[in-house]
Structure 1
Amino acid sequence: MPATISFPVATPGGPRTARVVHERRGAGRPLVLLHGIGHHWQAWQPVLDILAVDRDVIAVDLPGFGASERLPDGIPYDVDGVIPVLGALFEALGVERPDVAGNSLGGLLALELGRAGLVRSVTALAPARFWTEAERRYAFGVLSAMRAGARALPPPVVAWLARGAAGRAALTGTIYARPGRRSPAAVVAETRALREAPGFRATLAAGSTGLFMHDIPDIPVTIAWGTRDRVLPRRQGVRAKRVVPGARLVRLPGCGHVPMNDDPALVARVILDGSG
């Protein structure tokens, strides 16, 4: 069952309390999982039990997403604001330099955690900020349209659409190559998470400037991209490899932007291989 952890964080106005919801399973070396913008920890559900066979797996609702509270006042939703909060979260969870895997926004945060020396290894699945300006505008347009659709559809309509494979494809086909594999309950829950995320707008705005331009030479880094990613085209993986030349670049055949649903066994293997 998900749990909520409270921990102190520094803000310009003094110490404040952050509250983050997480799901923790298994035992072994800690592995933290970070979802993408507008999603929640349940994005990792298809791979959780596979990973938990050998690892202490912690899937996190990022602040301002899922069931986690928004960031305390004074902390921005940019990298400089979020990374220290995640570092404080690790300390509160009792994990020191965990392995981390992230998807999209979570992939960017995983790379930034690696650059900050806060993690032992990084696996980034279709991480953000390896785009051209045209690709960024396209991605932001797609994400904004998904958010607008989620907010416009009444919950009973979402529930009705989610009952059928065609409806699930209409609701989630942008991020999944195989949306029919999602259960109706999962589609309803993630549509609600996208609709209600208080951190969505600020996080999107924070991502409108800057590219990831830093090598991460001292830890293992894996960057993986789905061949059917409709949000961030897989050519961005080649750019990522140029920026982080020591990274292992992995192709995920038949997978979309959120590949954990499309091929759980492959994604779990990539994460476990990358973290040693």
Structure 2
Amino acid sequence: MLSELVYTRKGSGEPLVLIHGIGHRRQAWNPVLDALAESYDVIAVDLAGFGESPAYPESASYDMDSACDNLADNFARWGVDRPHVVGNSLGGAIALELGARGLARSVTALSPAGFFGVLNRVQTLVLLVVLRLSSQLPVGALRLLSRSGWGRKLAGASLYTHPERFTADEVLGDALALKRCQGFERTIVKGVRYAFRARVHVPTTIAWGTRDLILPYSSSAIAQERLPEARHVALPHCGHVPMIDDPALIVRVIENTVARTQESAAA
């Protein structure tokens, strides 16, 4: 096992694993965690080198093979077999890769990486680097920004359409997670040329925020071309991390994907 991952687990039922994006942490799923836990055994995980999870050894590569192998090892440690997987951004790409490898029962990918056009690849890289650099401010400055309404809006403007919904503690926690994460640069180096081109043979939904600034909604057209067998859903008025913008909609999208798995089993 490359990294023993830290996670939050809640609820009972079929296993459902939630995977965050680059620079984020498992608390990104808090807006939907309780609602999902009413029906599923929900595991929100910190990826290796992010949140509270330790980074891979220096000899290991931050590529998709490592991510999928490490998650599969952790699934076994948690006692789950082929869980439903839900991912956002980098986590969405990992969720699709898990589905392609037969390691998931269903896949729900929210604004997944891996469907870049030439220009939006550059846009994504620039915005992510800006976010990373801004997180390197002194902790006192980050705390001061998080306590002001305009500071919270500024911090979340590229990620959410409703950054004002975050508390000062939540904004500071996210900023510190981005500041201290050890996997960011190693992930960027491997991800800058990444493209998803596999086939996924389980029920799959790709949902995209129409106001996504990090991975623009136009990327959804590329996803539709490469994965015509998936269900493609627009998330109106949602940004790059849609769980805060419309948590009820995200829960419905996930539940609909899981229901298709159950329909397939019945058929």
Does TM, normalized by the shorter one, top 0.5?
A: yes
Amino acid at match of 2:7: H
Alignment-derived partner of residue 22 in structure 1: 7
State yes or no: 1:252 paired with 2:235: yes
What are the ranges of 5 or more consecutive residues in structure 2 without an aligned counterpart? Answer: 260-267
Amino acid at match of 2:132: R
Stretch of structure 1 that moved more, 28-37 or 157-166:
157-166
TM value normalised by structure 1: 0.92
Which digits, 9 at most, give the CA deviation of each residue in 1:229-263, with x for residues without a partner?
A: 01111111121111111111111111100000111
CA separation in 1, counterparts of 2:58 and 2:212? Answer: 35
Identify the structure with the greater strand proportion.
Answer: 1
Which digits, 9 at most, give the CA deviation of each residue in 1:35-75, with x for residues without a partner?
A: 00000000000000010010000000000000000013432
Alignment-derived partner of residue 13 in structure 1: none
Matches within 5 A, 1:192-203: 192-203=176-187
CA contact (8 A) 2:88 2:241 kept: yes
RMSD of aligned C-alpha atoms? 1.0
Which digits, 9 at most, give the CA deviation of each residue in 1:178-227, with x for residues without a partner?
A: 000111111000000001110000001101123111221x2100000011
Matches within 5 A, 1:75-86: 75-86=60-71
Matches within 5 A, 1:5-16: 9=1
CA separation in 2, counterparts of 1:275 and 1:34? Answer: 16
State yes or no: 1:210 paired with 2:161: no
Alignment-derived partner of residue 92 in structure 2: 107
Aligned to 1:19, what secondary structure does the other structure show?
coil
CA separation in 2, counterparts of 1:58 and 1:23? Answer: 6
CA separation in 1, counterparts of 2:194 and 2:250? Answer: 28
State yes or no: 1:40 paired with 2:20: no
Alignment-derived partner of residue 272 in structure 1: 255
Alignment-derived partner of residue 51 in structure 1: 36
CA contact (8 A) 2:4 2:74 kept: no
Deviation at 1:25, TM superposition (A): 0.5
Which digits, 9 at most, give the CA deviation of each residue in 1:97-155, with x for residues without a partner?
A: 0000000000000000000000000000000010112211110110001000001x221
Deviation at 1:169, TM superposition (A): 1.0
Q: Percent identity?
A: 46
Aligned to 1:24, what secondary structure does the other structure show?
strand
Residue of 65, 79, 89 corresponding to 2:50: 65
TM value normalised by structure 2: 0.95
